[in-house]
Structure 1
Amino acid sequence: MDTFLAIASRRDERRYGHEPLPEGVAARILDAGRLAGSASNRQPWVFVVPDARERIEELARAVYVPDNVLGAGLVVGVAMTGKRRAQFDAGRAAQNMLLAAWNEGVSSCPNGVADPDAAHAALGLGEDETLVIVLTFGIPERSREPGSRTPAEWSARANRRPLDDVVRHVR
């Protein structure tokens, strides 16, 4: 898929079908996060994947919309390690995973954490780890074909502020 088409056509999706992710897709999504750039190549992240249903249910209770976690085919907690927490680097890794998923036909959604302490415990994070975001992935309940529109058409349909409202040129 063309990168700009992927960016323009991707939308957060909170409803997933019941079928599992195709073989190898979860590994490619996680590897896309691993490949993200970071300041001084520190790679200060860890991607925590809860496999046990009990852990997933605990984590679901800690986010704002539990059904996003409960219905997902893959759940990933993006945590930062160490004292120096580069939030931008975590965002780069998360965005890589979201776009890699979309390239595979997999929908995704970042999930806000309502109870950081409960999420920390559910993911078994260490004292020097801070949860940044919980990502969920799944086969979309409703199919969307990125190639059905041009990037410009997707962009025009996006519920986003106009480009002129978000770009300021200074001289």
Structure 2
Amino acid sequence: MDVHLAVASKRDARRYSGAEVPDTVRTAILDAGRLAGSARNRQPCRFVVVEGEAVPAVADAVYAAGNVMSAGFVVVLVVSPGGGLVDFDAGRTAQNMMLAAWAEGVTSCPNGIADRDALARALGIEAPERAVIVLTFGSPERPRDPARRDVARWSAGAARLPLDALVRHVGSADR
């Protein structure tokens, strides 16, 4: 899928079909996270793949348990200390993973952590490491076709502020 189309058409999904995400797609998602850039190449993110009996405990630790329970693949991003940009690096990693999934037709959603201590206990995370986000992935409940619109139509239909409300130019009299 074209990267611009992937960015424009990607929407978070909070319900999944229940089908497993194929191993080849899981690997592609994890590798996309591995390839994300990081400040000073510290690579502070680690990935905890949540399976089997661990799923309910992780579901209980996020704000929307159903997202985790219906997902075909769950990954918790864990960061180690390393400066003020580790959360930014985790965001880059998460976005890489979600876009890689979407390129394979797999939808995703970042899930906020409601109980960090319970999540850490369930996954065996010990300080100074900490979980920053729970990513859920799965086949969509209903088929989605990003190519049904071009990038401009996806962008125009997005519930986002217009560019002129977000962009400010400085240092050039020509703008």
Q: Deviations over 1:76-127 (max 9, x none)?
A: 1001013535111111110000000000000000001111111111221122
* Deviation, structure 1 residue 11: 0.2
* Deviation, structure 1 residue 144: 1.2
DSSP-derived class of the 2:23 partner: coil
In the superposition, the TM-score normalised over structure 1's length comes to: 0.96
Contact 2:44 2:82 in 1 (8 A): no
* Deviation, structure 1 residue 139: 0.3
* Deviation, structure 1 residue 130: 1.1
RMSD: 1.1
Map of 1:115 onto structure 2: 115
Map of 1:37 onto structure 2: 37
Residue identity matched to 2:137: F
Gaps of 5+ in 1: none
Q: What percentage of residue pairs aligned between the two structures are identical?
A: 56
Greater gyration radius = 2
In structure 2, C-alpha distance between the alignment counterparts of 1:50 and 1:22, rounded to whole Å:
15
Q: Hey, which bits of structure 1, 4+ residues long, moved more than 4 A?
A: none
Residue identity matched to 2:168: R
In the superposition, the TM-score normalised over structure 2's length comes to: 0.93
Q: Deviations over 1:39-79 (max 9, x none)?
A: 111101111111232x1100101100000000001111001
In structure 2, C-alpha distance between the alignment counterparts of 1:151 and 1:170, rounded to whole Å:
28
Number of equivalent positions: 170
Map of 1:56 onto structure 2: 55
Contact 1:82 1:128 in 2 (8 A): yes
DSSP-derived class of the 1:49 partner: strand
1:1-171 alignment to 2 at 5 Å? 1-53=1-53, 55-82=54-81, 84=83, 86-171=86-171
Gaps of 5+ in 2: none
